[in-house]
Amino acid sequence: MSKELCSGIEKAPQRALYKALGLTDEEIAKPLIAIISAKSEIVPGHAHLDKITDAVKAGIYAAGGTPFVVPSIGICDGIAMGHDGMRYSLPSRELIADGVESMLTGHAFDGVVLVPNCDKIVPGMIMGAARVNIPAVLVSGGPMESGLYKGEKVSLSTTFEAVGKVKSGNMSLDELTELENCACPGCGSCCGMYTANSLNCLSEALGIALPGNGTIGANKAERLRLAKSAGAAIMKMVSNDILPRMILTKDAFVNALTLDMAIGASTNTVLHLFAIAAECGITLNLDLVQQISDRTPNLCKLSPATTRDMEDLNRSGGIMAVLNQLASKNLIKGDAITVTGKTLGKSYAHAEITGDAINPIDDPISPHGGIAVLKGNICEDGAVVKRSAVSQKMLAFTGKAKCFDSEEDCVHAIMSGKIQKGDVIVIRYEGPKGGPGMREMLSPTSALCGMGLDEDVALITDGRFSGATRGAAIGHVCPEAAAGGKIALIQNGDKISIDIPAGRLNLDINAKEMAARTKKFRPKDGEPSGWLLRYKYLVTGASQGAVLKKKF
């Protein structure tokens, strides 16, 4: 692409602008490679990305290319959690994809190395690269180390749960301060199998990232070597004309979903894999997710379900060891192409389990995958739950509804002691359209855990949950309340039945009562301002990945 921009007499003005940057004729003649970095000083997962991009630049220079670092926005979900800022998190995925498309096309780059680290930034960058379809490699900033508090591993989710402990009198304010001082000891994506790390791991299975991308620590020298290797890899891809849509095939998405189930990844991965697939002209659906979950054993149980973290997974052989286990039962399509130019099977062929964070496939944690899809009369288009983080006693549960039309009202009720054992909390009007923005809700789930209610109270919502969530937290209820979904018809005291093994979620009222409520129903409506107003009218449902409509 850059040859069209830099060659010939008529392109002298463009060459003049490159020379204004200090480039020589020799540098301009080489392949021009973008490094799109989410570096910022507000996001712990992104604070060190300048070091990663420097390493990528070194790899590109060494392999005969000319690199250019360009920026991307990025929101920290942990900082945005629990206030209106979270409404912008999921929508920012679309802005990031648009930004990647704009920068790559506007400057006619020959290839791109994507350097994200956190939740929406990873899928947003991949979506943009898939649209433009020039050679692309992803290398993330890597996971944060766990903190240590009173001899135990702690993390961001521990801090969220501690708020509930303080409210219930089980922790002092001094102890909370001590915990917050050590829970997040340095840069990197938060250390459990939360959304950011889930997506960075799934990128390996998709083939768009090199082995080790998901698990090598942010502060490790190995991470810098990986970044240099990504710089070298992009030059080989440019030479061999290997494009993202050659890699991001239906087989690649099946591999990613299979890994998703095996490692107990975040439910947000469903939204993001669907969205990336849509950019490649591939349609995924919740029925496929459930089919893959049914046949895929869960081999890893990591934070928030246990204190094991990403470092433990890395020491145990990482993602390639998990894929090799899955391949031994023919669950992985090993002939899928990757950014190495070789098949995925070549990458995991010799990977072995070297620690206790990965169970052998013949001795799984569970015969079923970490995510389950539920359907019923209040989620006709589906809902999802992180089954691997649900207590056995909550897998089948019936309780009485307590309904809230916003996250804030729910959190206030929890903190005020108004939620009792046996309740099913319903939070609605928090979907993609209704929020708008489909806020991630770690505050209410963490409060329940901190107050010791996570094994006695369920929560369902048309919003979504952080990957740090544990307990019977069922999200992505579709259709959402703002789109006329029946979650809006639930009333306080209604009986709700949850059966995760059977994949069922139902409001226990008769058809006549349901029809009467439906006839009277008028969805709540509001007019947000700015970008969220456009998002509200363009966004699709969570069962479609909450992508923006292609036609309007």
Where in the sequence numbering do the catalytic residues fall?
A: 466
Distance (Å, whole) CA 496 – CA 82? 26
Cα–Cα distance measured from residue 385 to residue 195, given in angstroms and rounded to the nearest whole number: 14
β-partners of residue 35 are 69, 113
Structure tokens at 264: 């107990």
SS (H, E, C) 77-110: HHHHCCCHHHHHHHHHHHHHHHHHHHHHHHCCCC
Q: How many angstroms from the chain centroid is the CA of residue 235? A: 28
Tell me the sheet residues that pair with 154. Answer: 147
Query: 541 by DSSP, 3-state: which?
Result: coil
Output DSSP code: residue 161. Answer: H
Write the DSSP symbol of residue 298.
Answer: B
Q: Are the CB atoms for 117 and 216 separated by under 8 Å?
A: no
| Terminal-to-terminal C-alpha distance of the chain | 31
Four-point Cα dihedral 359, 364, 369, 372, nearest 10 = -120
* Single-letter residue type at 39: K
Picking from 272, 299, 156, 292, the residue whose alpha carbon sits closest to that of residue 208 is: 272
The CA–CA distances, whole Å, from 277 to 69, 284, 396 equal: 27, 7, 32
Q: How far, in Å, are 37, 159, 432, 538 from residue 552 at the CA level?
A: 32, 43, 17, 8
User: Tokens 């094991």 label which residue?
Assistant: 308
Burial of 248 from C-beta contacts in 10 A (0-12 / 13-18 / 19+): buried
Give the list of residues 6+ apart from residue 196 with CB closer than 8 angstroms, or none: 45, 117, 118, 119, 122, 140, 143, 189, 190, 467
Peptide bond into 479 cis (omega under 30): yes
d(CA 382, CA 42) in angstroms, rounded, equals 35
CA distance 187 to 141: 9
Residue 446 corresponds to which amino acid? S
Helix axes of 250-263 and 318-327: crossing angle, nearest 10 degrees: 110
Host H or E run for residue 19:
helix 12-20
Segments in 451-543 forming alpha helices (H): 511-520, 531-538
